[in-house]
Amino acid sequence: MTPTDSEIAYAKINLALHVRAREPGGYHRIETLFAFAEDGDVLTAEPAEGLTLAVEGSFGAGLADQQDNLVMRAALALREAFGVPRGAAMRLDKRLPIASGIGGGSADAAAALRLLARLWALPEDDNRIAEIAQALGADVPACLLSRSVRGEGRGDMLSRIDDGALAGMPLLLVNPGVPVPTGSVFAAWDGVDRGRLEDGDPLAVARASRNDLEGPALGIVPEIGAVLTLLDQAEGVVLARMSGSGATCFALFETLAARDAADETIARTRPGWWWLKTGLRRQGLVS
């Protein structure tokens, strides 16, 4: 039987996101705290002569042609960089909403780099893998690590942080079912620098900080406000905020029981929304 390996594309959370300036070329200079959920899309691969990708899952139909998919771009770049003569048959179980602020495509691309590096017996700490991640998109380097880090520049200048109280914290992700194009949200930012992201314990820093894209995203998708209101009112919430450019919002809870109660409330009152009951990943090597 042909061996099959798998990798989780862990959902990305921006605990805080400060937009500091517009840069030449259309990019924005940001400061952010990345954390990652225990769950996400699932990518599998097995040896093959060619390089192929099949997409399935709840949100698979919303992806563009596979040749433009970030997973395929990551795979092709990795094979070319290392001169790999073999291929892989990949299958992506797309469980996370598309254009939702939790790293979907970036996390998938990062999972492809980790998975194929194992499948093709490549040195996983080779700088060429990190360089490919950076070329694929601003969030891909953080997703490649899939652990708590501070991001600056475009979000791709990373420094590791201590998880502190974040490790294993109960987490609920909620999306009102409306995609939000990242470019539109950044374009709607008012250009006001509201100050730097402080240093220190990441949970304390996150609670004292903000997401500067929340206001612009609310102007495009007002339904985000209903999500935030529901999460803010839940018992036992430590922090509720929009992630990235939206529309997914997250809530961190004191206890599993508090998270599960909020999960039940959403299931009962907002059955048309998407949500994921999970937790924050602990520090350590990506599995």
User: At the topology level of CATH, where does 164-279 sit?
Assistant: Alpha-Beta Plaits (3.30.70)
Residue 3: predicted pLDDT:
72
Give the SS3 label for residue 111.
helix
- pLDDT of 286 reads 41
How far separated are the first and last CA of the chain, in Å rounded? 23
Known catalytic residue at 12: yes
pLDDT for the residue 1: 41
Low-confidence ranges of the chain (pLDDT < 70): 1-2, 64-68, 283-287
Query: Which of 119, 144, 126, 102 is CA-nearest to residue 44?
Result: 119
Contacting residues for 64 by C-beta, under 8 A, at least 6 apart: none
| pLDDT score recorded for residue 64 | 54
Summarised one tens digit per residue, pLDDT across range 76-99 is 999 999 999 999 999 999 999 999
pLDDT of the residue at 66: 54
| Residue 67 pLDDT | 58
Kind of pairing, strands 170-175 and 274-279? Answer: antiparallel
The domains of the chain are located at 5-160, 164-279
Q: What is the pLDDT of residues 223-233, one digit of tens each?
A: 999 999 999 99
User: Percent helix, strand and coil across the chain, each rounded to 5?
Assistant: 35, 30, 35
* DSSP code per residue over 156-211: TEEEE---GGGTT-EEEEEE-S----HHHHHHH-------PPPPS-HHHHHHT--B
pLDDT of residue 27: 87
pTM: 0.95
Using alpha carbons only, give the angle 117, 120, 122 rounded to the nearest 5 degrees.
50
Q: Topology of 5-160 in CATH?
A: Ribosomal Protein S5; domain 2 (3.30.230)
**Which three-class secondary structure state does DSSP give residue 253?**
strand
**Which 8-state DSSP code applies to residue 280?**
B
Distance of CA 167 to the CA centre of its chain: 17
pLDDT value, residue 211:
98
The residue from 41, 139, 156, 163 that is catalytic is 139
* Per-residue pLDDT, 43: 98
Tokens found for residue 241: 């905020």
